[in-house]
Amino acid sequence: MAIWFRHLMTDGMARRRPDLKELPFVIASSQKNRIIITAASQNAEREGVFTGMAVADARAATADLVVMDELPGQTANLLHLLGLGCIRYTPIVSLDFPNGLFLDISGCTYLWGGERNYLKEIVLKLRENGFDARAAIADTIGAAWAVARFAKINPIVPCREQANAIASLPPAALRLEPEVLDRLQKLGFRTIAPLLQLQNSVLRRRFGQGLLNRIGQALGHVEEFLKPLQPPVPYTERLPCLEPICTAQGIEIAVERLLETLCTRLKAEGKGVRKAILKCYRIDGKKVQAAISTTRGSHSISHLKKLFQLQISKIEPALGIELFILEATRTEDMEAPQEQLWAEAKGLEDIALAELLDRIAGKVGADAIQRFLPSENHWPERSVKLAKCLTEQPQNHWPELPRPIRLLHTPEPIEVMALVPDHPPKVFTYKNKRHIIVKADGPERIGREWWHDQGLHRDYYSIEDSEGNRYWVFRSGHYDGSDARWYLHGYFA
């Protein structure tokens, strides 16, 4: 079955705001510096306002036109809700963006007394809720889609009668691309019937394989599958008991176990409990329950457990409780907090940190985990040293100026072009790749270590190329010196 909502967004808006039902109103969005109507209500269409018109032109047609802004994702959300509502008629419902649904009704219609009663039930239910819906039933998705939108009589296509059902419909009923439809229109194809008479080789040569696929899907020669809509799984946990629970302590244990499972799932999905109900089914057939609510979403087991502990005294177990069901009836999105390794400010003295590093080293190797300390040297490649142990303290401070996240052990020579000799590079070539510099900062001069060896000073620049990659380069020596050369020394994040 294919369902078509002719005024999906405006019907949904009128359902939420009944004051709009008698008014001509449209939903519009900005497109290429123009405000274009993306959905028009039935009252607006009666006054000559249609989807695709500019709002300025529409206001010229009707002075009392109400214009509302289109919100991102609004249409998809509404269609998704309608799809979930149709799951009561069949377990397989698929969204047909932007304004339709597909229902796989195999084996379902007999529950409503046949296909006609089934279709009538769904369409009337949707119309009672304010949606201008049309529907059709056929053996194939393509034929049902075409008949729902373009046929004027008989929405139920008999078995293996797809060709007759779509023959008199326009080519647009085949869900074709606008370019193909425009070509068919220019060639005089007003209905699908002539297309069914032509050879496949002719159609493929003139209109492409897409047209043949659509015809095949409508006639049932090419398979087409639905992507089922997955209904949300309720946040509910069950705990059956082997022996009836009669004590408050037993109820507390049951609540804790249920919370452990429920909160693990909530945390993984970024949700928190706002309201939850604990349902206790007693062996005498009665049900007692306790409810909690929170001021903000929470998936903290200890916090929720304390809230339930305040309610346990109100639960009367009588002869015993044989089943506990914990249901989060209201949840809200929660931003996952960043876990803090140094939350307790123990720093390197934290035993848990040392044990964690030992466990990691046991998996990836001891040499894979290293700690560095600042070393008192001028050259950046000599300004770090390996710490001997976890608790070794640095003797001096790290440089305050930014340093690259990856520093090369040995600077790599590069070819540089600069607009002015003492300016940062404009272009540099490294490993036969040419980098165009768009941003540069510097220089930062670092003097040579004359007590170690002879050499020239370095002028470091932080640069960014046109691809967004950032490098740390330096010129060794003065710019007008004969020994001046450029090197790449590191990569920034």
Q: Examine the pLDDT at 146 and tell me if it is beyond 70.
A: yes
Q: What is the maximal distance between C-alpha atoms in the chain?
A: 99
Strand pairing partners for 118?
none
For residue 24, the tally of other CB atoms under 10 A from its CB is: 23
Share above pLDDT 90 across residues of the chain, in percent, rounded to a whole number: 43
- CA 430 to the chain's CA centroid: 39
At 328, the pLDDT band (50, 70, 90 cuts) reads very high
- Of residues 161, 168, 174, the one with CA closest to residue 208: 174
Strands in 93-96's sheet, in edge-to-edge order, are 93-96, 100-103, 2-5, 133-136
Q: Examine the pLDDT at 393 and tell me if it is beyond 90.
A: no
Q: Mind listing the pLDDT tens digit for each residue in 264-282?
A: 999 888 898 989 999 999 9
- The phi, psi pair for 482, rounded to 5°, reads -75, -20
- The phi, psi pair for 214, rounded to 5°, reads -65, -40
Read off the pLDDT of each residue in 219-243 and give the average, rounded to a whole number: 91
**What pLDDT sits at residue 318?**
87
**What pLDDT sits at residue 345?**
62
Q: Examine the pLDDT at 24 and tell me if it is beyond 80.
A: yes
**What pLDDT sits at residue 416?**
86
**What pLDDT sits at residue 297?**
85
* Cα–Cα dist 428/466, whole Å: 12
**What pLDDT sits at residue 342?**
60
**What pLDDT sits at residue 344?**
62
Helix segments in 227-270, DSSP class H? 248-268
Q: Lowest mean pLDDT: which of 20-34, 119-133, 287-301, 338-352?
A: 338-352
At 343, the pLDDT band (50, 70, 90 cuts) reads low
* Cα–Cα dist 173/176, whole Å: 8
At 485, the pLDDT band (50, 70, 90 cuts) reads confident
| Mean pLDDT of all residues belonging to the chain | 88
At 346, the pLDDT band (50, 70, 90 cuts) reads low
**What pLDDT sits at residue 356?**
78
**What pLDDT sits at residue 341?**
61
Q: Examine the pLDDT at 329 and tell me if it is beyond 80.
A: yes
Read off the pLDDT of each residue in 369-383 and give the average, rounded to a whole number: 82
* Cα–Cα dist 456/106, whole Å: 83
Compute and round to an integer the Cα radius of gyration of the chain: 35
Q: Mind listing the pLDDT tens digit for each residue in 278-296?
A: 999 999 899 999 988 887 8
Residue 289 is encoded by which pair of tokens?
Answer: 């329950």
